[in-house]
Amino acid sequence: MDVKTWIFPTLCFFLFCYVMVFVGFFTYRVNPNVSLFQEKGIKSATSLDNLAKEMNKAMKK
């Protein structure tokens, strides 16, 4: 197998991994106790009636 065939994708993969490590490191370094996907407020559970209404609205559009 030719070296030129696999060297560029391999370097791109290692560069991607390197960048992801630093993104994760600096993201959690700011405040490790806060989840990235945590919502600000508490949302109530959706009832079946509200879900049916929303589904009907979406289907009518």
Identity at 32, one-letter amino acid code: P
- Mean of pLDDT values over 18-25: 89
pLDDT band at 15 (very low <50, low <70, confident <90, very high): very high
Tell me the whole-structure pTM to 2 decimals.
Answer: 0.46
pLDDT band at 45 (very low <50, low <70, confident <90, very high): confident
Residue 39 main-chain phi, psi, to 5 deg: -90, 155
pLDDT in the model for residue 3:
80
- Report the Cα–Cα distance between both ends of the chain, in Å, rounded: 55
Residue-range domain boundaries for the chain: 1-32
